[in-house]
Amino acid sequence: MKFGILVTEGPYQHQASDTAYQFTKAALEKGHEIFRVFFYNDGVNNGTRLMVPPQDDRNLQKNWTELAEEHQLDLVVCVAAAQRRGVLDASEAKRAGKDADNIAPGFRISGLGQLVEAGIIADRLMVFGD
């Protein structure tokens, strides 16, 4: 079965990203396909490679990046939500005249159309928010 995953909350403030990650991992272990993980609103903060949580805590960005590498997941960050919160890739940073970018490996920036497409193509769209 194809699953689409929507994450609307940032890391560490709420459990949504943790639950979404555990669900995604469990679905892959069961042989399901993850069509896309879409990060919206504060959820875009899961995609900054500059997070440095304590060593004995889970690193949510790293968890997502490693899962994406292992299973070729499509991790998409909403462009409008990302710009507001300072989550930028190289071309967005250049366009906005910023001196750095911070998008994490495995994540890409795109628009809401990607969420709509996930809703259409996936058999189930799982929403994780607060």
Partner 1 sequence: MSTLHTVSNSPFENNAFKSCLDHVTAGDTILLIEDSVVGARKAGSFGKEIGKALANCRVCALAPDLSARGIAADTVLDGIELVDYGGFVDLAAEHERTQAWL
Say which of 78, 82, 115, 125 is annotated catalytic: 78
Instruction: Measure the CA dihedral 9/15/18/24, to 10°.
Output: -70
Beta-bridge partner residues of 76: 38, 108
Can you tell me the distance from the alpha carbon of 122 to that of 118, in angstroms, rounded to the nearest whole number?
5
- Give, as ranges, the residues between 31 and 60 that touch partner 1 (CB under 8 A): 32
Is 28 catalytic? The answer is: no
Strand partners, 34: 3
In the bound state with partner 1, the residue whose beta carbon lies nearer, of 81 and 125, is 125
Nearer to partner 1, 90 or 127 (CB): 127
**Interaction site with partner 1 (CB under 8 A):** 1, 3, 8, 14-16, 19, 22-23, 25-27, 29-30, 32, 123-130
Which residues are catalytic, by number? Answer: 78
